[in-house]
Amino acid sequence: GDFRQEAVPAGNGEHILLVDDEEAILHFGKNMLEQLGYCVSIASASTTALEMFNRDPAQFDLVITDQTMPAMTGEHLASSMLLLRRDLPIILMTGHSETITAQRAMDLGISCFMEKPFSRSAIGKAIHKALHQQKKYV
């Protein structure tokens, strides 16, 4: 192995829901996350993702969603999910031109805000951090 490569924290079979309307991102993301040791479900529409989540909000340990999607933005999806489960860790992925700010994401209760494209180590660290941080409510 190459020791200069930063170690990416591995998953322990946690169940992640990955939401993006681009099939390529779903497949690439699913493979990357499975290699890191996570169990991954995918949804190519925010509405589908919400239906999956509503059926059993406890089944997912973390949600990663794209911001820009038809029908419902990632931000809207995240807030709908958080209504059902306040402690759900959510990572919101955005392109460069998005209007949502990190502050707004934090205010909504989103754990982490990530710009696309991201590297394996960046997403690995973000997931690890989001899964292990205790959300504090005032």
- Quick: pLDDT tens for 22-50: 999 999 999 999 999 999 999 999 999 99
Quick one: pLDDT at residue 133? 80
Tell me the one-letter amino acid at 66: D
CA distances (Å), origin 65, targets 89, 94, 110, 138: 11, 9, 10, 26
Quick one: pLDDT at residue 7? 82
The Cα–Cα gap between 6 and 134 comes to: 25
Exposure class string for 88-110: b at 16+ Cβ within 10 A, else e: bbbbbbbeeebebeeeebeeebb
Answer whether residue 134 shows pLDDT above 80: no
∠ CA 9-11-12, nearest 5°, is: 135
In this predicted model, what pLDDT tens digit does every residue of 46-70 receive, in sequence order? Answer: 999 999 999 999 999 999 999 999 8
